[in-house]
Amino acid sequence: MHEITLQPMSVLADGGSHEGQLILADGQLVAVFSWVTPEETVGGLERAGGWFLEAGFGPCSGLHSTTPPVLETLDDAVTWVRGRLDNGLIPS
């Protein structure tokens, strides 16, 4: 089981500053999530605001995964990261 830690970090995403979280697995950066507003998610099929994968590394990178939908809570984001760490090349 990987040790997951979170670290708040402001992210300069397109459209300006966003509240963000670095997600580290065993001390290494694997994902950056930012909080997006309902306007940015357009309501659409995704939920009204939530955590969006801005960048992923290793198993969370675009080489091995596709961008997940906007996630409701940080716990969901951590669950997604754990899924990626465990699944390797199998899409999730």
Partner 1 sequence: MAFMTNPLILKLEKHDKLSEAEKRALENAIARIRVVEADEDLVREGDRPGESSLLLDGYAARYKIVSNGRRQISAIHVAGDFIDLHSFLLKTMDHGVLALTNCRIANVPHATLEKITEEFPHLTRLLWLSTLIDGAIHREWLTTMGRLSATAHMAHLICELYLRLKVIGRAEGDTIQLPITQAELGDTLGLSTVHVNRVLQELRKEGLIRFQGDALTILDWERLKTVGEFTPTYLSLQNEDR
Residue 6 Cβ vs partner 1, minimum distance, rounded to whole Å: 20
What phi and psi values does residue 49 have, to the nearest 5 degrees? 90, 150
- Whether the CB-CB separation of 36 and 52 falls below 8 Å is answered with yes
* Nearest-angstrom CA–CA distance, 69 and 71: 6
Q: Using the rule CB under 8 A, give the single segment among 4-12, 22-30, 45-53, 77-85 that binds partner 1.
A: 45-53
Q: Are 80 and 92 in contact (CB under 8 A)?
A: yes
Residue span binding partner 1 (CB under 8 A) among the ranges 4-12, 23-31, 39-47, 79-87: 39-47
CB-nearer residue toward partner 1: 58 or 69: 69
Least Cβ distance, residue 53 to partner 1 (angstroms): 8
1-9, 10-18, 21-29, 79-87 -> range binding partner 1 (CB under 8 A): 10-18
How far is the C-alpha of 7 from the C-alpha of 9, rounded, in Å? 6
